Structure formats: C-alpha cells, structure tokens
Amino acid sequence: MQTIARANRVFPDKVSGLIVDYSGVFPNLERALAIYGVGKGGKKPVEDKSALVAALQQALEETRSLCTQQGVTLASIQNAEGFSRVELLDNAVEALIVSEEVKRRYLDLANTVQRLYKAVLPDLLAHEFAAEVSPIKVIADKIRALVPSDITQVMEQVEALLDQSIATEGYFIREVSDPYNDEQLIDLSAIDFEKLAEKFKTSRKRTLNEKLKGSVGQKLMAMVRLNRTRMDYLERFQQMIAAYNAGSLNPEEFFRQLVTFAQSLNEEEKRGVSEQLTEEELALFDLLMKPPIEMSEADREKVKATAKELLVTLKNNKLVLDWQKRQQARAAVRVAIDKLLDDHLPRAYTPELFRQKSTAVFQHVYDAYYGS
C-alpha cells in the first residue's frame, strides 16, 4: 500500500497540484523524474523512460496480484471478446468491491498504472503495456460509475457543509428514466422496492449494493444540506456502512437494511407535504421542535405558524444583500428572530429553551441564507 500511496504522488496531481518526492519506493524513480527536466535553451530530456517503464511494470504486477487474490484473471479479460469480455469485466467489478478496503486499493493501483502509462507515452515502449492497461482502466471506470462520489467523500462533504454555508436551493439529484437500468444510478423516489428485491436475487449482489449505497448517500447528503436536524439519519447510515465494511453484515442483510433505510428517507422527504410546509419552513419547524417537546396539538400548530411567519418576515425585510457582512444587518436579523419567537412561541418553551432555540434558528439562517 505504501507503494500505491507514494506512487500516486510521483507526478503533479490534477486535483491537489502536489508533487512529492518518493525516492526509495521505485528503484529507478529518481532517474525517471529526470525525463521531465528540459534544460535551458530547449535541450532534450537527458534520460530515457526506462525508469518509468520499471515503475509501470511494478504497478502492473501489484495490480495483477490483487486481482488474482480476488479471483480475477486480467489475462482472461484481455483475450476475451464481445459479450464474453463484458461478462468477465462485470464479474471483475463484483469481485473487487468485496470490501471497501479492496475496492480502494484497486482504484489506487489503477490510478497509479494509468498515470505511469500516460507518462511513458508516446514512447513506443508503452505499446507493449496497452493490452493490459486497458481492462484495468475499464474495471476502475465501472467501479467509479457505481457511486458518483466515494461514500467517504460524501460523508466528508455532509460534515463540511454543516460547518459552512448551506445553499437554500438545495442539492440537485439527477433524474433517471429507468431506475433499474444497470448503467444508471438508482432513483430512490422511483423505486418499486419489491421489484428491486427480485432483481437482487439474480443480480451481482455487491454491485447492486454499491449502486444503492451511492444513491442513498447522495439523497441523504441533499436532505441534510436542506435540514441539519436530519443528522440522525446520517449517523444510522454511517453505522450501517461500517458494519458492512467490517463484515458484520453479509450482502443480503446489507441490502435489506439499505432498502429499509431508503424507504425511511422517502417517507422523511414526504413529511413536509403532510405537514403542509415547504422544505425551508420544515427546517425551521424542526429546529423549534427537536428534540420533541411536550405540548398540545394546538401549540404544535402555533409553532408551525411561527416558522412560516418567521421565514416571511426575514425574507421580506431583513435578509438584504450581504447582510452577514454588516454588523447592523446581522443584529437586525437576530433581533427579529428573538422578537417573533418571543411573541409567538407557546409557554412550553422555558426561558432557557427559548434561548437555545433562538440561537439555533439564527445560526441556521446565517448558514443557509447568503449572497443575492
């Protein structure tokens, strides 16, 4: 794994821009780096690409070894054609997502192979590796296509969003024409879960789980961005994934729990409709009501009306352009929140609870309503 982690930093990373010395990892690496150095006056590189070829050969060997451990023979994929090749590629994906650790290790290796291969190009030496590099890349692309964003990154994005400003317009989740198409993500709102369960019986189970996990993660991120009181859903999701990665849940049980969780997300998404609240109003209402506060139904309706009125008041009069940057405007928003809540919230809110809710509402408004 050290080889993978360091080799990924051999060349400038397109995302991070980092260049890190990894001398000692590959025997000829220092010589390999020299090929990038063009002297003054336009002199040609002083070294050939033999060091890079040696690094590529080592990365390919590690990739072959990992695939073999998981029952995948890259040579068989290379030699296959047509539907047989497609079948072997899909089987390889199923085998290499057996766990998060194996999946990440393969993707790291595939990334290293691709970078080194591109570095060797257009040298003729690269041609002898093309047939083996191709299926490695295709498998990696298929794995990445299952989940649009690595699930760990999804969790990090959610947590980061809770520490930063949150866009009020929410998060776009693309629609799909066929929620069961193997080439597309699963649209949770369009799922017939009974049909999906039947498909699971005859499908590559880990592959379908990976798709469903990614779709649930995306939907969850969108919902938490809109309403941070849904953090309990995030915690449940994280616990479920941790158990699956640890081997505590087999694919069948993980699928069952994912389906149950996805159904609960669909119900949560419909809650605003049943409460006759928009997503924005629901976020304020939840902040005022969670954890549950004992009160009559009449008082609960009063809190709901308060959330609606507060949103209208702030949008009409207080949330002016760049209000967060101006002390007077921020103070006006805070005063408006305090006054409206004090005037309208029922007596179930003690002075201490009132202060907590007022602060929470202001923080939510500060995070969620910004810009033009």
DSSP characters for 96-157?
A: HTSSHHHHHHHHHHHHHHHHHHHHHTTSGGGHHHHHHHHHHHHHHHHHHHHSSS-HHHHHHH
List of the chain residues with pLDDT < 70: 1-48, 148-187, 189, 371-372
Bond preceding residue 251 cis, omega within 30 of 0: no
Dihedral of alpha carbons 141, 144, 148, 149, sign = negative
DSSP 315-339: IIII--TTGGG-HHHHHHHHHHHHH
Tell me: the pLDDT tens digits for 271-327? 999 999 999 999 999 999 999 999 999 999 999 999 999 999 999 888 888 898 889
Would the pTM count as exceeding 0.75?
no
Q: What is the pLDDT of residue 371?
A: 66
Percent pLDDT > 90 in the chain is 44
Amino acid 345: pLDDT: 94
Residue that is written with structure tokens 């954890």 in the block: 291
Give the per-residue pLDDT at 66: 96
pLDDT for 17 equals: 37
The residue extents of the domains of the chain are 2-146, 151-274, 293-368
For the chain, the helix, strand and coil percentages under 3-state DSSP, each to the nearest 5: 70, 0, 30
